[in-house]
């Protein structure tokens, strides 16, 4: 049976995705408790501090029936290795553990395509195959990728221990159309620049919708799911890009046109998620890499 939350704690509420999530929650009539290191002044009930602060997080859980946990250092470049891994893993454990103790039954956490180990790989790396899917082995070689593995393991533990339904969303590059346009231009000029992320993206509005669906769909247990727009940010055919920049990676099924080399079947089946916002590339921009 689907679950419609009435009061949602959003950590990382002042961030780009957090701000969009707040708009989606408001549109669905859900009350919001915001949590971040800075207060943007847009939420009536807001807690300012670290998501690793057990006491503060416990206080923020009062009356909450669902959690969207987005707070994290977003790459291995945003702190020391210890700060990135320990900080991210600690925050996720504290938030989910305190949510369970408060009786919360549903949570969504921000995982990342970076869990593959590809985007921030310290030496050349490639996926085992495409399209990427949830069965593909992970190759974490940086503290951010490792922190996402720890986050997903924490989600699985909480689901087993407490019966909470937890959805971990493995987001690709997120952005507004204006933000994505910068990367589309880069990939047009330097086609190989997006290979480490398999040229994938998702509009921020769709990412926020996925968070809502993660809370409201009929879900039990813990689920880690890839999601992306159905096409790449590159103007060039995907199979041509793969042949040139990832030549040793098996292509398990043909990829027509600009099809993203990520299998999003699981999230569509479980949550009913289908991206609505597509970055438009003009016919004049299409060509060979």
Q: How far apart are CA 79 and CA 83, in angstroms?
A: 6
The domain in which residue 48 lies consists of: 7-285
Four-CA torsion 118, 81, 170, 179, nearest 10 degrees: -80
Give domain status of residue 114, yes or no: yes
Give domain status of residue 269, yes or no: yes
Please check whether residue 68 is in contact with residue 32, taking contact to mean a CB–CB distance below 8 angstroms.
Answer: no
Q: How far apart are CA 202 and CA 124, in angstroms?
A: 24
Confidence at residue 118, expressed as pLDDT on a 0 to 100 scale? 97
Please check whether residue 84 is in contact with residue 78, taking contact to mean a CB–CB distance below 8 angstroms.
Answer: yes
The CATH number linked to 223 is: 3.40.50.720
The pTM for the full model equals 0.96
Question: 108: closest CA among 267, 223, 273, 272?
Answer: 223
Would you give the distance in Å from CA 95 to the centre of its chain? 17
Give domain status of residue 12, yes or no: yes
Give domain status of residue 1, yes or no: no
Q: How far apart are CA 218 and CA 280, in angstroms?
A: 33
Question: 69: closest CA among 177, 143, 152?
Answer: 152
Q: Is the pLDDT of residue 274 over 90?
A: yes
The larger pLDDT score, comparing residue 281 to residue 268, is at 268
Which residues are CB-neighbours of 284 under 8 A, at least 6 positions away?
none
Give domain status of residue 2, yes or no: no
Please check whether residue 8 is in contact with residue 31, taking contact to mean a CB–CB distance below 8 angstroms.
Answer: yes
Bridge-based pairing state of the strands 202-203 and 222-226: unpaired
User: pLDDT tens digits, residue range 55-112?
Assistant: 999 999 999 999 999 999 989 888 999 999 999 999 999 999 999 999 999 999 999 9
Mean pLDDT of 185-211: 97
CA atoms within 13 A on the CB side of 188: 14
Query: Which residue carries 């951010």 as its tokens?
Result: 144
Indicate the SS3 state at residue 35: strand
Verify whether residue 144 is a known catalytic residue.
yes
Confidence at residue 76, expressed as pLDDT on a 0 to 100 scale? 87
Handedness of CA 177, 179, 183, 185 (dihedral sign): positive
Would you give the distance in Å from CA 181 to the centre of its chain? 20
Please state, rounded to an integer, the average pLDDT across all residues of the chain: 96
Would you give the distance in Å from CA 192 to the centre of its chain? 23
> Counting beta carbons within 10 angstroms of the beta carbon of residue 193, is it exposed (0 to 12), middle (13 to 18) or buried (19 or more)?
middle
User: pLDDT tens digits, residue range 214-270?
Assistant: 999 999 999 999 999 999 999 999 999 999 999 999 999 999 999 999 999 999 999
Please check whether residue 64 is in contact with residue 100, taking contact to mean a CB–CB distance below 8 angstroms.
Answer: no
Active-site option among 144, 187, 201, 236 = 144
Handedness of CA 244, 249, 254, 256 (dihedral sign): negative
Q: How far apart are CA 168 and CA 156, in angstroms?
A: 10
**Lowest-confidence segment of 145-154, 155-164, 267-276, 278-287 by average pLDDT:** 278-287
Give domain status of residue 163, yes or no: yes
Confidence at residue 225, expressed as pLDDT on a 0 to 100 scale? 98
User: Which two tokens mark 38?
Assistant: 């800075």
Q: How many domains does the chain have?
A: 1
The DSSP code for 289 is: -
């Amino acid at each position: 049976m689907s679950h419609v939350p009435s009061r949602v704690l959003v950590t990382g509420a002042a961030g780009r995705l957090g701000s969009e999530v707040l708009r989606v929650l408001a549109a669905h009539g859900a009350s919001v408790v915001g949590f971040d290191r800075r207060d943007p002044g847009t939420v009536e009930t807001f807690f300012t501090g670290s998501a690793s602060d057990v006491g503060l997080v416990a206080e923020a859980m009062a009356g909450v029936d669902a959690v969207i946990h987005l707070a994290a250092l977003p790459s291995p470049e945003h702190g020391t290795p210890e700060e990135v891994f320990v900080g991210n893993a600690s925050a996720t454990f504290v938030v989910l553990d305190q949510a369970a103790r408060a009786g919360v039954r549903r949570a969504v956490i921000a995982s990342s395509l970076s869990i593959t180990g590809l985007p921030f790989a310290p030496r050349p790396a490639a996926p085992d195959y495409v399209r990427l899917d949830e069965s593909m082995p992970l190759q974490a070689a940086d503290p951010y990728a490792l922190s996402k593995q720890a986050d997903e393991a924490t989600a699985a533990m909480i689901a087993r221990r407490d019966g909470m339904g937890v959805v971990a969303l493995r987001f690709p590059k997120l952005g507004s159309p204006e933000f994505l346009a910068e990367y589309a231009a880069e990939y047009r000029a330097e086609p190989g620049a997006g290979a480490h992320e398999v040229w994938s993206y998702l509009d921020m509005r769709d990412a926020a919708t996925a968070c809502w669906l993660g809370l409201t769909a009929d879900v039990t247990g813990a689920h880690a799911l890839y999601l992306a727009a159905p096409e790449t940010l590159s103007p060039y055919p995907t199979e041509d890009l793969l042949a040139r920049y990832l030549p040793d990676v098996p292509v398990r099924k043909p990829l027509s046109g600009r099809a993203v080399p990520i299998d999003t079947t699981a999230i569509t089946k479980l949550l009913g998620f289908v991206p609505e916002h597509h970055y438009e590339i003009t016919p004049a921009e299409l060509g060979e890499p």
